[in-house]
A and B are shown apart, each in its own frame.
Chain A
């Protein structure tokens, strides 16, 4: 029983990280109806930036904030330079561009930082409550996820800019008519997604260690999380993230073994898409022919 509880709690911790990344995916999906295959690599790149800053002697939380800020601008830059030209292109072109981004970010990071595995510091003190079941970093990661979620919720719910963003995502034509600069809102969505991804990257790096390919599996879980929760529902993405984290850990520990953990994501993704494509909290889409 104790082992089971431990697995569930550990699952919640990794689930929080999946939730953040899933949230980033949902942000971009809501704004542009695209699924960003490069989200994981963007987060990975941001984590490397944080690593450089920390290694240069900067205190962790300042480096954290700075990385989130830099990622925000990189996200906007990517949207403006790379994504904008294919905005109305066929899906295949868009997917190819995303995959190209993934590959470029991956190889450029490998180029700059080499492929050797690096350790990444955890900002949380070693002695903390709940220590019997969860490591301090796991508790901290969950906390950070929840804070990010709350901030986002407050941003979208209570600020004019959040309202404008939602309007631009939901009905771009009308939004443009009332004077919202839809193009910039999309870029802003990308920036926010990149920033959230950066948080996810920095939270997961102490667990999986830093290397250019670290995000491959995590991105897959984030996809699964976003789909389980409903790809157009931020709340769903977070719940989906925790669900997938727990499922992955419990199944990995007791049912199928650690070797096939990634296949859990594969089965989840295909299963959700087949049985309930709108996910738990997503809207059902009806297309008019």
Chain B
């Protein structure tokens, strides 16, 4: 425990020091890593811990992003106020989508969420909504500056803002998952009939998991929109949902630190692979997905856990 805390403090110090050591563009990329980490954590709560497969989480990410963008663009809200609102909207949306999803298991839920993911860009382009969503053009939002005269440039400020939100979200998830709720979620995943028999309200927990998961993804979407300063329907296609899936599979299912590893992977792998070909990142994503399922089903987080356990086991 003490050692974990020590590691956490070191990690935090590194996270705080990083933006001063790298360029503004890299800082922006690191901000996106944090954003993805929140989204992956959300998906992991649903898919990793609760065993409900979602291939449509890009839709909730889009919802969060559009919430933030519309509130800033049309209602003139400050950027920081849009994040909790986006989270709340997605919580409700996720809970509502989770209610019918209760009746769907495994493959069928994957199908339904896949349909959601595929049709989302079209819904966003819908011309009756154009007043708010800006149609195909999307919405451009201004970059927030550091308040109170804090001597940080916009990129670094946004990084620290995102880092703070990430910390809060991870702390919340950790608290949620280590206790009664987390055990209930895992019990439903592993053996839902036995869980029901032990008094775990399957329906409630499953739709709750959907809501919370969507909330995380929505918060990530809002932060992502603020960081990228732009939302457009076609950036939220089915491949975004697939990226999230890649992230949790590579990072590690049902693991909180796994979200961070997955986020690092999905942010930086394409940068490296892009040099080969425009299509290469996706081929590599695909190969990694299959490779991890065959060889390392617990992902990077599982491999690290195994390594540590081995070192402890044989001193």
Contact = CB atoms under 8 A, between A and B. Distances in A.
Interface string B91-132: 000000000100110111011101110110011011100000
Interface stretch (B160-168, B200-208, B280-288): B280-288
A220 interface: yes
Interface string A216-239: 110010011001000000000000
Contacts, number: 130
A262 B107 contact: no
A30 to B, nearest CB: 14
A265 B279 contact: no
A260 B286 contact: no
B297 A95 contact: no
Interface in A15-59: 34-35, 37
Interface in A61-118: 82, 85-86, 89, 91-97, 99-104, 106-108, 110-111, 115
Interface stretch (A176-184, A194-202, A267-275): A267-275
Contact of B279 (A94, A111, A216): A111
B117 to A, nearest CB: 10
Interface string B259-295: 0000000000000000001111111011101100110
Contacts of A102: 242, 286
A274 B103 contact: yes
A261 interface: yes
Contact of A266 (B106, B119, B125, B289): B119
A106 B51 CA distance: 27
B69 interface: no
A263 interface: yes
B53 interface: yes
B62 to A, nearest CB: 14
A127 interface: no
B111 A103 contact: no
Main SS of the interface on chain A? helix
- Residue among B104, B122, B281, B290 with max Cβ neighbours from chain A (10 Å): B290
A3 to B, nearest CB: 21
A93 B297 contact: yes
A289 interface: yes
Contact of B118 (A86, A216, A257): A216
Contacts of A263: 119, 122-123
Contacts of A94: 107
Contacts of A270: 100, 112, 115
A2 interface: no
A259 B107 contact: no
B193 interface: yes
A88 B129 CA distance: 45
A223 B283 contact: no
Interface in A109-166: 110-111, 115
A258 to B, nearest CB: 10
Contacts of B126: 259-260
Contacts of A35: 107, 110-111
Given A86-B293, A260-B123, A111 B115 contact: no
A34 B107 contact: yes
Contact of A97 (B119, B239, B242, B289): B289
A259 B115 contact: no
Given A223-B111, A265-B119, A266-B116, A111 B242 contact: no
Interface of A: 34-35, 37, 82, 85-86, 89, 91-97, 99-104, 106-108, 110-111, 115, 216-217, 220, 223-224, 227, 257, 259-263, 265-266, 269-270, 273-274, 277, 289
Given A97-B289, A103-B286, A220-B119, 9 more contacts: A94-B107, A100-B285, A100-B287, A104-B286, A110-B279, A111-B279, A263-B119, A273-B108, A274-B103
5 contacts: A35-B111, A92-B51, A94-B107, A96-B290, A274-B100
